[in-house]
A and B are shown apart, each in its own frame.
Chain A
Amino acid sequence: MRTLGTAIVLALGLATDIRAQQSASRDTPGRTEGQPAQSAPGIDVSLPTSSSPNYAGPVVRTANVIADADLRKLLQNGFPAHLSYRADLWSRSGWFDDVESTVEWDVVVRYEPLTKTYRVARYVGDRAENLGRFERYEDAQAAVARPYQPPLPARHTRSRQYYIVVLDVEVISMSDLDELERWLRGELRPAVRGKRNPGTALGRGISTLATRLLGGEKRRYEQRTETFRVGNRE
């Protein structure tokens, strides 16, 4: 009785963390579009072409980060995919490298069941840019994959510089719980930073372990450019 009760309550407790995955197995629309040609998921960051000045900022390309079936199921069940980008400009001088400036932007892919369309939008600060509504998931992926050049110009300095871009892909609906957890834990700081994996410590740990091992819920991609000097690559 005790073991059973504990197991039930534990399952209830953990349900808050894994509900997204559970719901993903229900009500999945019977869409059977073929997958696009798959290359490795990730991001590519490059300096502008030689005809462009280096200080124009990096060009970020995203490939297949929302391509897998798990994430697609979550999307179709109403959990938007949140692609959170951060681009840092680093300079090499002295003992340690320094972050000169940072730009963050987000891309959200969500499914509208009424119109059976995927909606893609990019958010930079408070500004939203509609990247389109698509009937085919592959077209939504293509919209996500469009190159983007964040406004992160290199500095006019003699130091070598490089860009690092980090992309976190997560199911946005679950991140609210993280803030609540911090709040309830008695942390006095407002949760104004970070988008960590949500849920309770244990639940988060288990779900993170399981889903990351299985390629689910939240992933991080990182890429950096070669070092360069403004107007003269190395």
Chain B
Amino acid sequence: MNKLLATRVAAIACVVVPFVSSAAQDPAKDAPTTRDTVLNPRLLPSEIEREVTDAFNSANTVRATGAYEVESDRVVPGDVAVLNGPLTIAGRVNGRVVAINSDVILRPGARVEGQILVVGGNVDGKDAAFIGGDVRTYRQRLTYRQEGERLIASGSSEEDARWWHRRQRWHSRSYSDLRLVSAKTYNRVEGLPILIGPSFGHRFGDLRLQIDALGVFRTGDDLEWNSQTVGHSLKTELSLGRGTGLAVGGRLFDVVNAAEEWQLSDVEVGLASFFLHRDYRDYYNRHGGSGYFRLSPLRGLDLTASLSDERWSLRKTLDPFTLFRNSQDWRPNPGMDEGRFHITNGTLHFDTRSDEDDPRSGWKITADYEYGSGRTTLFGATTPGVRDPAVDDVTKYTRGFLDLRRYNRLSPEGQLNLRLVAGGWLSGDELPLQRRFSVGGPGSLPGYPFRRTGTGDDVRQCSNGVDIPPGVPAQCERMVLAQAEYRGDLWMSLFDWDWNDSWAGGGWRHRAQWVVFADAGRGWLVGSRAGEIQYPKGDLPSLSTFKTDLGLGFDAGMIGLYVAKSVSDSKEPPNFFVRVGRRF
């Protein structure tokens, strides 16, 4: 390092020395010895940029833009700064002279008591004038902009700050774009949905208005223009405050939604669909409009109330391209209820996690209360006994959902994470199929296969094991799932990779962890007691009926490799699975 520094200093000296004149050869009689330096770096040093702009912006400086002259009978008591001169001095300057992108012309008899600093110009007439200080001349011009009378160099911290604020678009004043982006995730009923349309945002002080008007084009089947392949998503929001505050907004939509989004992330579902021909969600179409009001009293806490009027309809299974197993059939998208519904939601989000992607401590709580009413025009198929055959088409229900996560660091190397998910029917009529639950699979009970059922009572999908509709729909009206995991940092070095509390080789630059976990959960129907599937509304199933599993894993940060084994069903074989990111 020192050798490199020495080399650079020597190199600079070699460049600089030929340009350094040996001070003024024949100075004015009373001129003191001054240094006269001419520098020609390709870049104007940032400290010089700062020096000249500070001088120009100083309130005590006589400053001018364009040609300026200090006449022979004039005395300037302080500094003089000129931008895009030239500056001609015939009189006296008691301070220093700064010329920016400008020449300085010294007339015979001129006196400058202080320094002369010239950027992007020359000094003429030095020999016939008195110069009390050093003369520094930089050939490189200053690049700048002006805000009013204020000069800002392009290399300044102020300019960096301006650039930064411009990049922080959420806080920017306004924008308008034409968007062409893919949306949500690859799935078997849409393929890859693409969004196209204008996007607009504007800030009025603390108020912020956003509008997006986007068309949805679905690529899952033939490239045709019809109601199956085309949708829309229009959204507007007026918010007050940044981070905390309140907002009111509205949305018009014709989009595809998943029935249970809480199990796996969009990324995982999309990757599994595109690569492995496995879609871990079921879908339905929502067409309608909604309005909402959101209050964010604290950072990390928000409460939202929304009201919507929407029509639900089926989405048939398409055959989008997948990288592997492309010739196989997809799991059919189960039929769901169709009809028109009014949905009222109250939702709370509370998030104090230390990091969204890699939380070490904190809470993440999502709680949702939903009141739905409407008329069902078509009931989706279910296993016999799941629905009351006498149910009419008018529906009123309430439903609750809670996802509570707590992340705890037990030591610098280990952490214990806990999650409780509970949801289900609260009152009123039976839940529509869109609002029902299941457990099992990599997102909930990985020791059990996803949507696979055997004979007998199935407490994961709430079926009796016979007459199961295509696609094995989620049919449970209530569900509880508890998950716990202990994570420990790994201290090891593999394949000569440098372990420094992070892997630093081969692209894996993440802290690795070993994971041991346990899960327990089940679903059930609400009604008079029937076997192990249905319980009265005030009862909880016995813990002995819960499905449980244990597992081990290796989480490299980006990808985690896990194996889980059912405990409650010894005949279930172990399941190997991959998670992209954390389990929860």
Give residues in A with beta carbon < 8 Å to B.
2-3, 5-7, 9-10, 12-14, 16-17, 40-42, 44, 80, 86, 88, 90, 92, 95-99, 102, 106, 108, 110, 115, 117, 119, 121, 123, 126-130, 132-133, 135, 162, 164, 166, 172, 176-177, 179-181, 183-186, 188-194, 196, 199-206, 208-209, 212-216, 219-224, 227
- In the complex, are the beta carbons of B274 and A97 less than 8 A apart? no
- In the complex, are the beta carbons of A97 and B501 less than 8 A apart? no
Q: Which residues of A contact B297 (CB under 8 A)?
A: none
Q: Which residues of A contact B347 (CB under 8 A)?
A: 188
Shortest distance in angstroms between A214's beta carbon and chain B's nearest beta carbon? 6
Looking at the complex, which one of A41, A97, A135 makes contact with B361 (CB distance below 8 Å)? Answer: A97
- In the complex, are the beta carbons of A133 and B179 less than 8 A apart? no
Q: Knowing A133-B46, A188-B249, A196-B357 are in contact, say whether A221-B509 is a contact too (CB < 8 A).
A: yes
**Which residue of chain B lies nearest to A212 when distances are taken between CB atoms in the complex?**
B558
Whole-angstrom distance between the alpha carbons of A17 and B267 in the complex? 13
Q: Knowing A201-B184, A209-B580 are in contact, say whether A40-B157 is a contact too (CB < 8 A).
A: no
Whole-angstrom distance between the alpha carbons of A201 and B187 in the complex? 11
**Which residue of chain B lies nearest to A160 when distances are taken between CB atoms in the complex?**
B412
Shortest distance in angstroms between B440's beta carbon and chain A's nearest beta carbon? 22
Provide the main secondary structure of the chain B interface. mixed
**Which residue of chain B lies nearest to A123 when distances are taken between CB atoms in the complex?**
B164
Q: Which residues of B contact A206 (CB under 8 A)?
A: 271, 274
- In the complex, are the beta carbons of B199 and A180 less than 8 A apart? yes
Shortest distance in angstroms between A6's beta carbon and chain B's nearest beta carbon? 5
**Which residue of chain B lies nearest to A6 when distances are taken between CB atoms in the complex?**
B321
List the 3 closest A-B pairs by CB distance, nearest first.
Answer: A201-B266, A202-B270, A13-B182
Whole-angstrom distance between the alpha carbons of A129 and B156 in the complex? 8
B227 CB-CB contact with A under 8 Å: no
- In the complex, are the beta carbons of B191 and A6 less than 8 A apart? yes
Which chain B residues in 467-516 approach chain A with CB under 8 Å? Answer: 498, 500-502, 504-511
**Which residue of chain A lies nearest to B511 when distances are taken between CB atoms in the complex?**
A222
Q: Knowing A2-B222, A219-B509 are in contact, say whether A42-B233 is a contact too (CB < 8 A).
A: no
- In the complex, are the beta carbons of A208 and B349 less than 8 A apart? no
- In the complex, are the beta carbons of A205 and B182 less than 8 A apart? no
Give residues in B with beta carbon < 8 Å to A.
42-43, 46, 143, 155-161, 163-165, 167, 169-170, 179-186, 191-192, 194-195, 199, 210, 212, 214, 219-223, 233, 235, 239, 242-243, 247, 249, 251, 253, 255, 265-271, 273-274, 292, 294, 296, 299-300, 302, 304, 306, 320-321, 347, 349, 351, 354-358, 360-362, 408-412, 416, 498, 500-502, 504-511, 557-559, 580
Q: Knowing A96-B410, A186-B253, A209-B580 are in contact, say whether A201-B500 is a contact too (CB < 8 A).
A: no
Q: Knowing A40-B500, A181-B183, A220-B502 are in contact, say whether A97-B411 is a contact too (CB < 8 A).
A: yes
Q: Which residues of B contact A115 (CB under 8 A)?
A: 43, 143
- In the complex, are the beta carbons of B501 and A121 less than 8 A apart? no
Whole-angstrom distance between the alpha carbons of A181 and B365 in the complex? 22
- In the complex, are the beta carbons of B157 and A128 less than 8 A apart? yes
Q: Which residues of A contact B270 (CB under 8 A)?
A: 200-202, 205
Q: Which residues of A contact B294 (CB under 8 A)?
A: 188-189
- In the complex, are the beta carbons of B164 and A108 less than 8 A apart? yes
**Which residue of chain A lies nearest to B509 when distances are taken between CB atoms in the complex?**
A219
Looking at the complex, which one of A41, A97, A208, A213 makes contact with B409 (CB distance below 8 Å)? Answer: A97
Q: Which residues of B contact A186 (CB under 8 A)?
A: 233, 235, 251, 253, 255
Whole-angstrom distance between the alpha carbons of A13 and B411 in the complex? 44
Q: Which residues of B contact A135 (CB under 8 A)?
A: 42-43
**Which residue of chain B lies nearest to A112 when distances are taken between CB atoms in the complex?**
B154
Whole-angstrom distance between the alpha carbons of A158 and B143 in the complex? 54
Q: Knowing A133-B43, A188-B304, A201-B270 are in contact, say whether A41-B504 is a contact too (CB < 8 A).
A: yes
List 15 A-B residue pairs with CB atoms under 8 Å apart, sorted by A's residue number.
A6-B223, A9-B191, A16-B182, A42-B500, A98-B361, A115-B43, A128-B164, A185-B183, A185-B266, A192-B299, A201-B265, A202-B273, A213-B507, A215-B509, A223-B501
Shortest distance in angstroms between A232's beta carbon and chain B's nearest beta carbon? 18
Whole-angstrom distance between the alpha carbons of A177 and B160 in the complex? 23
- In the complex, are the beta carbons of A16 and B164 less than 8 A apart? no
Whole-angstrom distance between the alpha carbons of A130 and B249 in the complex? 40
Q: Knowing A176-B169, A200-B183, A222-B511 are in contact, say whether A183-B210 is a contact too (CB < 8 A).
A: yes
- In the complex, are the beta carbons of B357 and A40 less than 8 A apart? no
- In the complex, are the beta carbons of A183 and B212 less than 8 A apart? yes
Whole-angstrom distance between the alpha carbons of A126 and B46 in the complex? 20
Q: Knowing A176-B169, A206-B271, A209-B580 are in contact, say whether A193-B351 is a contact too (CB < 8 A).
A: yes
Q: Knowing A16-B181, A172-B167, A209-B271 are in contact, say whether A7-B160 is a contact too (CB < 8 A).
A: no
- In the complex, are the beta carbons of A203 and B239 less than 8 A apart? no
Looking at the complex, which one of A9, A162, A181 makes contact with B181 (CB distance below 8 Å)? Answer: A181
Whole-angstrom distance between the alpha carbons of A200 and B354 in the complex? 24
- Residue from the set A188, A196, A208 with the largest chain B CB neighbour count within 10 Å: A188
Shortest distance in angstroms between A89's beta carbon and chain B's nearest beta carbon? 12
Q: Knowing A119-B160, A200-B185 are in contact, say whether A220-B43 is a contact too (CB < 8 A).
A: no
Whole-angstrom distance between the alpha carbons of A213 and B247 in the complex? 40
Q: Which residues of B contact A86 (CB under 8 A)?
A: 355
- In the complex, are the beta carbons of A184 and B212 less than 8 A apart? yes
Q: Which residues of B contact A164 (CB under 8 A)?
A: 360, 412
Q: Which residues of B contact A119 (CB under 8 A)?
A: 155, 160
Whole-angstrom distance between the alpha carbons of A205 and B272 in the complex? 10
Q: Which residues of B contact A189 (CB under 8 A)?
A: 294, 296, 302, 304, 349
4 additional contacts (CB under 8 A) given A119-B160, A164-B412, A185-B184: A6-B321, A200-B192, A221-B509, A222-B511
Whole-angstrom distance between the alpha carbons of A222 and B409 in the complex? 15
- In the complex, are the beta carbons of A99 and B251 less than 8 A apart? no
**Which residue of chain A lies nearest to B169 when distances are taken between CB atoms in the complex?**
A176
Q: Which residues of A contact B181 (CB under 8 A)?
A: 13, 16, 177, 180-181, 184, 200
- In the complex, are the beta carbons of A133 and B354 less than 8 A apart? no
Whole-angstrom distance between the alpha carbons of A44 and B265 in the complex? 33
Shortest distance in angstroms between B152's beta carbon and chain A's nearest beta carbon? 12
Looking at the complex, which one of B159, B235, B296, B355 makes contact with A184 (CB distance below 8 Å)? Answer: B235
- In the complex, are the beta carbons of B557 and A121 less than 8 A apart? no
